[in-house]
Amino acid sequence: MDIEERQAEHIEYFVKQASALKGPALASVVVEATSHPSLFAFSEILAVGNVLELEGTESSVYLELLRTFAHGTWTEYKSIAERLPQMVPDQVLKLKQLTVLTLAESTKVLPYDLLMNELDVTNVRELEDFLINDCMYVGIVRGKLDQLRRCFEVQFAAGRDLRPGQLGSMLHTLTDWLTISDNLLISIKEKIKWADTMSEMGTKHKKEMEEKIEEVKKSMSFKKLPTSRRTSATEGTRRCTLNLLE
């Protein structure tokens, strides 16, 4: 079972849990969801009416915490940590995993120095262990660790929840991509048509050349006949013609 299928099962479970509880009781659902080792998407939980109702209440910090896991990074969390509930180790690990996914959205070559700074990792060995055991082994990213160049080359990264306003930008990007694809398809069709035309012309030209070559061969063959045979052939033709006249 791949990561997308696992996500769907976990999301369904937590959406049901959030829909059945209200107010402070939702705190335990938020903590459990953000600590779950196989859950990396939270927009469906954020969309639950009971969760949205936490806005402006004493439990609103859990709504903000859930939003941080949906869209934020470890660095962003540290800047607002004073007003959020203290996280347990599993939550810290999860947010750092999500941070790697966010970084992979902008570039497919992640320098070790950038990763160590964003993840609060002090040395390369610790960073590589984290990328291997807590990211690649889990299945949220695939890539290559390049110790010589001190970077992580990302080949695949799971997508995160869309940030507010990001959908419009994504739709614009997809629309541009479709336009480019349509233009490219038209260009390819025109090139195929041109290639077919050139192929037909080439076939026709080849046939004409073969006919000319055959005519030349026949002409050369006649010229190579001995004089006596050419004379005999000519005389025979003349006699046949005289006989017909008589």
- pTM, two decimals, is 0.69
- Pairing label, strands 151-157, 141-146: antiparallel
Compare 99 and 220 and report the one with higher pLDDT.
99
Q: Residue 139, by phi and psi: left (phi above 0), alpha (psi -120 to 50) or beta?
A: left
Lookup: tokens for 71: 């869209």
Among 22-31, 95-104, 215-224, the range scoring the smallest mean pLDDT is 215-224
132 pLDDT more than 90: yes
Q: How many helices (H) and strands (E) does the chain have?
A: 11, 3
